[in-house]
Copies of this chain bind each other. A is one copy, B any other.
C-alpha cells in the first residue's frame, strides 16, 4: 500500500515494556492482576496486542465473547496512541465499529493494529484479530481516539 512511506514517518516514542508498565499502573482494571491483555510489539505506525482468552472470556457456544474482542481492539488503539504520542492517560475512544467474522475457542488472539491517521485531535486506527490453528481473521475493528489538546 502506498501509504507505507507515510506511516513510517510515525515514530514510536515508547517501548513495549514501557507500554505494558503504563497499562499495569494506570489501568489496573484491564487485567485485574492477570496478564490477559498485553502489548507484544510496537512499530512505526502500528502495534500488535494480544489476548490470552480463557474461560472467563467466553460466551454461550464456548466462543470468545464480543466484549472481550472489543476490549482487545480498543486496547490496540490505545497502545497505538500511547506509543506514538507518549503516556497520555486520558486519550478516549469516541467511536468503535467491530465486525465478528468467525468463532474462536479459548486461546491466544493477536490484534494487528494500524494507525490510519494521526491528526491533531483525532487518531483513526484499525485492528485485525487473528486466532486458531490457521490464524484466520476472527474479527476486525475500526475506531477513533480523541487525543487531549495538551499534546
Contacts and interface: CB of A to CB of B under 8 A. Distances in A.
Interface string A86-98: 0001101111111
Most chain B CB inside 10 Å of its own CB: which residue of A55, A70, A121, A140? A70
Instruction: Count the copies.
Output: 4
Counting chain A residues whose Cβ lies within 8 A of the other chain, the interface size class is: 35 or more
Contacts of A43: none
Most chain B CB inside 10 Å of its own CB: which residue of A66, A119, A121? A66
A83 interface: no
- The A contact surface, by secondary structure, is mixed
Contacts of A71: 66-67, 70
A3 B137 contact: yes
Contacts of A55: 29
Interface of A: 1-3, 5-6, 26-27, 29-30, 32, 55-61, 63, 65-68, 70-71, 74, 89-90, 92-103, 112, 116-117, 119, 121-122, 124, 126, 128, 130, 134-137, 140, 142, 144, 146
17 contacts: A1-B128, A1-B130, A2-B130, A5-B134, A6-B136, A6-B137, A67-B68, A70-B70, A94-B100, A95-B97, A96-B97, A97-B98, A99-B116, A99-B142, A101-B116, A126-B140, A142-B142
